[in-house]
Amino acid sequence: PDKVNLSKEFVLAYREIYAQIYLEQTTLLPKAKEALELGSEIADLGIVTTKGGKFTPILLDYLGVKKFFKTLITLEDVTNPKPSSEPIILALKRLNKTQENAYMIGDTILD
């Protein structure tokens, strides 16, 4: 098989496995929920993720943190995902904020 088809097979296999295990295999860091609760009391919080919109809202609800976020930008919401600035700009627009009045916290080098 050529590399493109093999890559597509790996992506499909990954997505299939992820769909089966993502809830039980994802946990919050200690005190993360408390930090989000406090943060949401003093700021409008949003999420920008390269994950798809199918899983993210379900996961946030499962973890009990969905209520802390005012906006969620997923892969399907933009043409150019991270590391492009497009999803960040969209999140700021939805939150009615400017970049001068915002902070971003990332969890990968791409952020």
Strand, coil or helix: 7: helix
**Domains of the chain (ranges plus CATH)?**
31-101 (3.40.50.1000)
% of the chain residues with pLDDT over 90: 85
Q: With 80 as the cut, is the pLDDT of residue 4 above it? A: no
* 56 within 8 A of 74, measured Cβ to Cβ: yes
Three-state secondary-structure class, residue 66:
helix
73 burial type by CB count under 10 A (0-12 exposed, 13-18 middle, 19+ buried): buried
Element (DSSP H or E) covering residue 13: helix 3-25
Q: Is 11 in a helix, a strand, or coil? A: helix
The C-alpha atoms of residue 31 and residue 1 are separated, in whole angstroms, by: 47
Please say if the pLDDT value at position 110 is more than 80.
no
Cα separation of 111 and 105, whole Å?
A: 8
At residue 107, the pLDDT reads: 86
Could you report the per-residue pLDDT of 19-66, keeping only the tens digit for each? 999 999 999 999 999 999 999 999 999 999 999 899 999 999 999 999
Question: Which backbone phi and psi does 71 adopt, to 5 degrees?
Answer: -150, 155
- The pairing of strands 69-73 and 45-48 is parallel
pTM as predicted: 0.86
Looking at every residue in the chain, the average pLDDT score rounds to 94
pLDDT computed for residue 1 by the predictor: 59
Using one digit for the tens of pLDDT, what is the confidence trace for 80-106? Answer: 999 999 999 999 999 999 999 999 999
- Residue 15 token pair: 């997505």
